[in-house]
Amino acid sequence: MTAPLLSIRTLTASYGAVPAVTGVSLDIQPGEIVTVIGANGAGKSTLLNAAMGALPAGGAVWFDGADVSALGVEARVRRGLCLVPEKRELFATMSVRDNLELGGWCVDAARRRSGLEDVFQRFPRLSERQAQMAGTLSGGERQMLAMGRALMARPRVLMLDEPSLGLAPRIVGEVFAIIAELRKSGVSILLVEQNARAALRSADHAHVMELGAFTMSGPAADLARDKRVAEIYLGLGG
C-alpha cells in the first residue's frame, strides 16, 4: 500500500475547557474517498477545521509525507489541502467569477485561467451565471460555487463539510455525482456528512463519530451493512 496522502494522528481540539475532538486518527490514500458520519455535535466539523489549521489542535497532521501541524491555513492550501466549509462562506456581493478568481489566489495566472475553464466545464451553471452575484444563487448553485472555488487552488485533498446540507434530493444527487467525478480526476476527498446513506455509498472507507471520538471504522460497504449503523444512521431500525 502507498503512503497516505493525508494522515491525522491522535488529533484533539477543544472549545475552551470543552473537548470536541478526542484522539482521532485517520488516513486517506491517493484517490480515495473517506467519510465521517455522525449526529449533530459529534465533532465532525471541528475535526475538519482542526485538520485545516483553522483551530488550535493537539496531535499531528501529515500531508504528503510532511508534518504540517505547525503550518497555518494558507500554507496548507498551498500544499494542496483545501476545505469547503459547511456554511460555504462565499462573498455574497461579489460575482461568481470573482469568487472563483479569489479561490485561485495561490496559483499563477496561467493555472488560474485553466482552473476557471475546468470549473466552468465541471459546473456549467456557474459558467452561465459567472456575472451574477453569489448571494443571489440557489442553495445548490452556492454549493457548486463553494466547491469550484476550492478547486481553483488545485487541491490534492478536498475536505467537504456537509455538502448536501439544505439541498433538495435531486441536487444532492448532483453533488455526489460531482464528488465521484472529482475522485476519478485524482482528487482525494475527506467527506463529513449527516446523509449517511449517500456518504457510505460514495466512500471507500468510513468512520462513525460520536462525542468527539471514532466509535466504528472500516470499509464503507461493511459499515453500511452493520446493524447498529443501519438502525441509527440509515433509518432502517425495526
Residue 238 confidence (pLDDT): 42
Measured between its terminal Cα atoms, the distance across the chain in Å is 40
Residue 66's nearest CA partner among 78, 84, 55 is 78
d(CA 105, CA 87): 21
Alpha helices in 11-60 (DSSP H): 44-52
Written as nine digits, the cell of 61 is 497532521
Long-range contacts of 175-184, Cβ-Cβ distance < 8 Å, separation of 24 or more: 175/140, 175/143, 175/144, 175/147, 176/201, 176/202, 178/122, 178/123, 178/144, 178/147, 179/33, 181/122, 182/151, 182/158, 183/31, 183/32, 183/33
Residue 1 confidence (pLDDT): 63
Residue 233 confidence (pLDDT): 87
SS3 68: coil
Residue 196 confidence (pLDDT): 92
Mind listing the pLDDT tens digit for each residue in 46-100?
999 999 999 999 999 999 999 999 999 999 999 999 999 988 889 999 999 999 9
CATH ID of 1-80+157-238, from 3.40.50.300, 3.60.10.10, 3.30.1960.10, 3.40.50.10300: 3.40.50.300
Ranges in the chain, pLDDT < 50: 238
Sequence ranges of the domains in the chain: 1-80+157-238, 87-154
d(CA 171, CA 16): 37
Residue 102 confidence (pLDDT): 92
Query: Percent helix, strand, coil in the chain (nearest 5)?
Result: 40, 25, 35
